[in-house]
Structures are given as C-alpha cells and as structure tokens.
C-alpha cells in the first residue's frame, strides 16, 4: 500500500450505484474513527456528525461529453471525450481519445447523425487532440452536444458505455454548475431527504464548485516534481465566511470528496484567499501535506496508484488506509465511482 497500490478484483468494481436497487444513501459506509473501523450505512451519516459541523458539497455538474464515433473513411470506432471548448462559438475542442495513435489529422469522425468532428493536431502533451466540430442541425452546437453526448462514466464501468439512466445516477442531487468530465463521486450517496436530516441535526451545509478535469483519470507519477493537470475551483465568499466561523466556534469542516478537498486546501494556500472567481490549481496532496481546513473527509474507494490514493493516505495515514481497504475487500464493500463510501476522521469522531 505504500506504493498506493493494492489488488482490486474486477468483481469488486461496482457497475451500478446503490440507487439502481434502492436509494442512493443505502450504500455502505465504512467509518474510519481514528484507529478503529466501523461498518455502517450512508443513511446513518447524521449520527456521526454533530451540531456546528459544516458540510461542504461540490455543486459541479457532469457534462455528457463522451462519444463512440466511427471514422467516416473506414467505420473504425474511436472513443472521444470532449474536455473543453477552445473557441467562442464552441466549434473547436480539446479532446482525449482512444485509440488516439490511430487518429490522423484530417480524419472525420461521425459523432452523431448531424454532427461530425475533424481531427486536428495533437496537443503538446501527446495525450490530447484538437477537434473541429461541424453540425448540419439548426440546434445550437452546445445544446446538440448535451443532447447527443453520453455521460462519461469511467471505462471500468460497463466499458464506459453509459445508458440513459446514468444521466441521473452519475450526477449528484445538488449539482447545478456544468463543467465536469467526471462526477465527484463521494457526493452521489446523498439524497435530498438526507440533506434535510443533516440540517435538522444542526449540521450547516455550504457549496463550492470544483470542476473535475483530466486529473481525475491520471495515475500518480513517482517523480516528486509531478503535478496533475490543473483544474478550476470557485469558493463563494459566503462559504469562506462559514469556514472561518466553523473554525472559530469549534465546528468541524466535513469535506465531501477528494476533488472538493483539493479545492479547499488550494484555497487555504492562496495568499489572496480569492473568492467568487475561478482559480486554477494543480495541487498534488501526498503524505506530509499539512491540512489547513478540513477535519473530516467523505470519500469513495479509489483506483490503485491514483492521485486520490495519495490524498486519502495523506489525510488519514497510510497505515489506516491500508487497514480500511483490507477490511473493505474482506467485508464485500463495492469499489470505485459507483461503489460504497468512507468517512475518514483521523483524530477520532469525538475529538
């Protein structure tokens, strides 16, 4: 586990969320309470928090940006993930693709009956490409993409081929700011009813925005100078005020998700503490990182060797994360994006 790796049997990867068979909050919850482990259910979360705690949600919304597109010339299929628009009229995009090595400049891909993409040059990192979109529809290009694109579920879930239901499942109930190419998956377990119960228990709730980008797909490098791809976050001034009040009055800041954690810890290190504007971050949290804002972390079980494994090991301690993952594998927890959750409380829930 010191290499942030572990053996993950394919059978333990969840193909569907708990919501498909019941409720979002029926997922299991492994509570890491200091050095002890406790099995629970996500719906019981209010019992582990207390009056004065501040729950921080990431309100980013996932954009349906994946296409399985045949090349017009020979019908060879390419998987395309649109990352970001590079032009004011949204016709030029940066994209990831598979198999990218077989896609040549000038190749034409049929994304949808009325939508084509012409391949341009590779980007500097060699991992991305520019695509020029061409539409024959009267519908606006952005609306057409939203209508025709698939939700970008990870490739380990059903080969990445989303169904219509994933438009609901792969989105948090509080998402409302479009911009992510992957879901902040720790938030998928919340229901509106659970949020009401948390408020009734005296837990304050606030929102930030951190758009999940390509960094979500990266395996961490061993090079100490490595940094994941930059992502953007926005901290509302009202939320920043609640952070200060919680710290001042002894409340705990409970962060939902590793993406939100990167945003909060980046904000804490921003000399200007900029609010109400998007800020770029390439913060890579590894063991030795001093956490300045968050006290508790809600997170899913992550892929081996991922940047997320470094982050949770930094937060809860590598030994405790190793113990938690070993227990979860033995206790039939479901892993990765549609899997179960953990509540990490390094100092103990009673601290």
- Is 255 inside a domain boundary? yes
- Helix 258-269, helix 307-316: angle, nearest 10: 70
| 56 and 70 co-located in one domain | no
Helix, strand, or coil here: 333?
coil
Average pLDDT score over residue span 99-126: 90
Tell me the residue range of the domain where 51 lies.
10-62+166-345
Average pLDDT score over residue span 245-256: 96
Q: What is the CATH number of the domain that holds 281?
A: 3.40.1780.10
pLDDT digits (tens, 9 = 90+) for 22-70: 899 999 999 999 999 999 999 999 999 999 999 999 999 999 999 999 9
Q: What is the DSSP letter of 56?
A: E
| 184 and 329 co-located in one domain | yes
Sign of CA dihedral 131, 303, 314, 56: positive
Residue 74, H or E segment: none
Q: Are the C-beta atoms of residues 131 and 95 closer than 8 Å to each other?
A: yes
**Domain end marker among 149, 179, 204:** 149
pLDDT confidence tier of residue 206, bands split at 50, 70 and 90? very high
pLDDT confidence tier of residue 216, bands split at 50, 70 and 90? low
Q: Is the pLDDT of residue 131 over 90?
A: yes
Helix, strand, or coil here: 220?
coil
Of 215, 183, 235, whose CA–CA distance to 308 is shortest?
Answer: 215
Tell me what pLDDT residue 87 has.
81
| 53 and 190 co-located in one domain | yes
Q: Is the pLDDT of residue 222 over 80?
A: no
Of 140, 135, 227, 216, whose CA–CA distance to 183 is shortest?
Answer: 216
| 183 and 40 co-located in one domain | yes
For the chain, what is the domain count?
2
Cα separation, 97 vs 10, in Å, equals 24
Pairing of strands 278-281, 341-345: unpaired
**Domain end marker among 88, 119, 149:** 149
Average pLDDT score over residue span 89-113: 91
- Is 296 inside a domain boundary? yes
125-134, 136-145, 329-338, range with greatest mean pLDDT: 329-338
| 201 and 285 co-located in one domain | yes
Cα separation, 238 vs 208, in Å, equals 10
- Is 4 inside a domain boundary? no
Cα separation, 69 vs 111, in Å, equals 5
Helix, strand, or coil here: 305?
coil
| 291 and 186 co-located in one domain | yes
**Domain end marker among 149, 182, 204:** 149
pLDDT digits (tens, 9 = 90+) for 77-98: 999 999 988 888 778 999 998 8
| 142 and 280 co-located in one domain | no
| 110 and 221 co-located in one domain | no
pLDDT confidence tier of residue 164, bands split at 50, 70 and 90? very high
Residue matched to tokens 């009325």: 114
Average pLDDT score over residue span 279-298: 93
Cα separation, 333 vs 41, in Å, equals 11
| 23 and 125 co-located in one domain | no
Q: Is the pLDDT of residue 7 over 80?
A: yes
Tell me what pLDDT residue 281 has.
93
> Between residues 217 and 211, which one has the greater pLDDT?
211
Q: What is the CATH number of the domain that holds 93?
A: 2.40.10.240
Tell me what pLDDT residue 300 has.
98
CB atoms within 10 A of CB 346: 18
| 49 and 142 co-located in one domain | no
Least confident of 122-126, 332-336, 346-350: 122-126
Of 201, 167, 170, whose CA–CA distance to 300 is shortest?
Answer: 170
**DSSP code string of 226-260:** --PPPEEEE--HHHHHHHHHHHHHTPPEEEESHHH
Q: How much is the pTM? A: 0.93
Q: What percent of the chain has pLDDT over 90?
A: 80
| 185 and 290 co-located in one domain | yes
pLDDT confidence tier of residue 1, bands split at 50, 70 and 90? very low
- Is 264 inside a domain boundary? yes
pLDDT confidence tier of residue 219, bands split at 50, 70 and 90? low
Pairing of strands 108-112, 28-33: unpaired
| 246 and 258 co-located in one domain | yes
**DSSP code string of 253-277:** EEEESHHHHHHHHHHHH-TT---SS
Helix, strand, or coil here: 64?
coil
- Is 351 inside a domain boundary? no
Tell me what pLDDT residue 75 has.
94
């Amino acid at each position: 586990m010191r290499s942030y790796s572990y053996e993950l049997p394919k059978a333990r990867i969840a193909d569907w969320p708990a919501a498909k068979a019941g409720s979002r909050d029926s997922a299991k919850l492994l509570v890491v309470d200091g050095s002890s482990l406790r099995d629970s259910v996500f719906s019981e979360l209010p019992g582990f928090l207390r009056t004065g705690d501040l729950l921080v949600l990431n309100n980013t919304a996932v954009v349906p940006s994946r296409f399985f597109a045949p090349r017009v010339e020979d019908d060879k299929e390419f998987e395309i993930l649109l990352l970001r628009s590079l032009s004011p009229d949204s016709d030029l995009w940066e994209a990831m693709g598979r198999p990218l090595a077989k896609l040549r400049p000038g190749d034409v891909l049929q994304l949808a009956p009325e939508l084509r993409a012409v391949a341009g040059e590779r980007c500097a990192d060699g991992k991305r490409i520019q695509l020029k979109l061409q539409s024959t529809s009267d519908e606006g290009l952005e609306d057409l993409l939203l209508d025709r694109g698939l939700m970008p579920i990870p490739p380990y879930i059903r080969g990445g081929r989303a169904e219509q239901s994933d438009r609901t499942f792969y989105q948090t109930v509080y998402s409302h700011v479009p911009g992510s190419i992957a879901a902040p998956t720790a938030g998928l377990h919340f229901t509106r009813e659970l949020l009401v119960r948390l408020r009734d228990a005296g837990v304050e709730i606030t929102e930030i925005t951190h758009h999940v980008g390509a960094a979500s797909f990266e395996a961490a490098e061993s090079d100490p100078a490595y940094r994941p791809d930059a992502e953007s976050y926005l901290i509302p001034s009202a939320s920043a005020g609640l952070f200060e009040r919680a710290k001042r009055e002894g409340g705990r800041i409970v962060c939902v998700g590793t993406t939100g954690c990167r945003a909060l810890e980046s904000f804490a290190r921003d000399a200007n503490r900029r609010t109400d504007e998007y800020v770029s971050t390439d913060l890579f949290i590894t063991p030795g990182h001093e956490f300045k804002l968050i006290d508790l972390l809600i997170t899913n079980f992550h892929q081996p060797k991922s940047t997320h494994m470094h982050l949770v090991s930094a937060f809860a301690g590598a030994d405790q994360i190793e113990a938690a993952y070993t227990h979860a594998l033995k206790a039939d927890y479901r892993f990765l994006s549609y899997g179960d959750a953990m509540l990490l409380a390094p100092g103990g829930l009673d601290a």
